[in-house]
A and B are shown apart, each in its own frame.
Chain A
């Protein structure tokens, strides 16, 4: 098991390297000159030249890359060109917020999507199946921001059950933190629940037709055991993979949802950085997000292996 994870981590190294090169080059291709942005009103060529010198912008690209990656490896993602704060601390400040949102959203997604998928597969063709499919389609097609606004109207404004904004970090005030996150997590979760429901449904439909499910029935097992143990265990394999990838997407930030619920998460950081041509921050975010994705993939593969004994013997 550990060997497997170690091997996958080794495989991830070249991937991360390639990503880092792309991240570095991409920002070089972006229009706009950060030096001009930095200098502001002062367009004195000497100042501009001094700034270029300071940020090694006159060196060949490859040298610039090594300056950059060397610092990154030491946890230094540079300074925000806008606020002059270290990018690392900016990201570390937002990451827990987005992580909490992502975890809560995934709980909603799995909690709604998987049971709905199981039910609609078991009762395929019944009214339950149609309702589940209708709900899933609605979940996919209703825009998050619209659902978010409606929820705020209903739950916060009319019913007054949950606060519409005012996020506190989990470590400071856990109850308040969860309260403010419930609605945005629900909004994000329902959209993903639809995806999970479709995946669970199709995986269950395949598995329910399999010979080993028939064997389980031939043993006289109750239908509940047949479905929840013998069928679900095998149907979960693709569902877990999809969940991990969805979680990776959630980590990248949900711009609109964060905006509506005024959550100081990753999404807002991304938007601000892009609009301000704050390249250092953009770079840092893309890099962190990519590494996050790779880790999620690794997690998915590991879960896949735990669920599927056939994988364990393969090299």
Chain B
């Protein structure tokens, strides 16, 4: 942790859907420094998207609601803000890119209108200036013939172009925090790398902090400063990116890294390692460690929920047996 105050600090955030007994997101804490990139990794349904939507105040309430915790952003206590004050920050200081570029843009308005609208909402400028800003943004995100694309409707653009337009919209007001929820998942593989590179370049240029939500460890290795691994609504391990890949401690993290296809000789052609079993459904969460059912190392101790403990600087793990070196090391999982 640096001496400076974090840009975003999430403390013990819990989110519940309807009146279910268990939290969808359970006591999640993390922080992001200005300009830093945090990757939140996990399988689908682990609560990472819900967490992101909660940060933006975009949860569908009801039925989804925040039951406890605090979110501090840039000096504001977000959860204590009024609806209007929060919407003043949204799209201005904090912005979000979504997974589905095909449906995230309004089909009835042109790309230029939709970007300019956001600029006019947060800055006291006229339609002409906002349009000029929209054009500038479209050029910055590398949309060819940006001037004509300004008047294009979303359906006239390809998926990759739409995601670029979304990025242009999100960054139009120079936010200090950008949340990207699986921004490349819905795109063609060839486009994925381009869009990811674009996000990184723009982030570096503008000094925006980035929370990137992904299930792709390859992406994590490429862009993250810091990683939080989520499993079934909890953060099970958080670490600087090198530490996570070099010294993963939580059995789930180890499993995740183990299920990456390797390129080294000898690994090729062998079966991909998988983690047996499925993520528990929200209505049937185990009481203790939520990974215990699928964990090769689980013992009776795991019936009790393990707290997230720091085992090295910036490296915290929620496992009774971390650090692994100090406990009897069973066979390697991978």
Contacts and interface: CB of A to CB of B under 8 A. Distances in A.
Is this pair of chains taken from one and the same complex?
yes
Interface of A: 210-212, 214-223, 230, 233-234, 307-310, 313
Given A212-B103, A214-B58, A220 B153 contact: no
B133 to A, nearest CB: 14
Interface in B92-151: 92, 95-96, 98, 100, 103-109, 117-118, 121-122
B108 A218 contact: no
A221 B117 contact: yes
A211 B306 CA distance: 36
B156 interface: yes
Dominant SS among interface residues on chain A: helix
Contacts of A220: 87-92, 118, 121-122
B78 interface: no
Interface string B201-238: 00000000000000000000000000000000000000
Given A218-B58, A219-B90, A220-B90, A307 B95 contact: no
Contacts of B92: 220
B65 interface: no
A219 B169 contact: yes
B56 interface: yes
Contacts of B58: 214, 217-218
18 contacts: A211-B100, A211-B104, A215-B169, A217-B90, A218-B91, A218-B96, A219-B117, A219-B169, A220-B89, A220-B90, A220-B91, A220-B92, A220-B118, A221-B91, A222-B87, A234-B107, A308-B107, A309-B107
Given A220-B91, A221-B87, A310-B153, A215 B104 contact: yes
B155 A309 contact: yes
B278 interface: no
Nearest to A234: B108
A282 to B, nearest CB: 44
Nearest to B105: A212
Contacts of B91: 218-221
B1 interface: no
A313 B100 contact: no
Residue among B91, B98, B106, B122 with max Cβ neighbours from chain A (10 Å): B106
B329 interface: no
Given A219-B91, A220-B122, A221-B87, A211 B98 contact: yes
A218 B155 contact: no
Nearest to A209: B60
Contacts of B153: 309-310
Nearest to A213: B106
Which among A212, A215, A216, A230 has the highest number of chain B CB atoms within 10 Å?
A: A215
A120 B178 CA distance: 34
B265 interface: no
B95 A212 contact: no
Given A212-B104, A222-B87, 11 more contacts: A211-B98, A216-B106, A218-B90, A219-B90, A219-B91, A219-B118, A220-B87, A220-B92, A221-B91, A233-B109, A309-B155
Nearest to B99: A211
B108 to A, nearest CB: 5
Contact of A310 (B107, B122, B166): B107
Contacts of A310: 107, 153, 155
A185 to B, nearest CB: 31
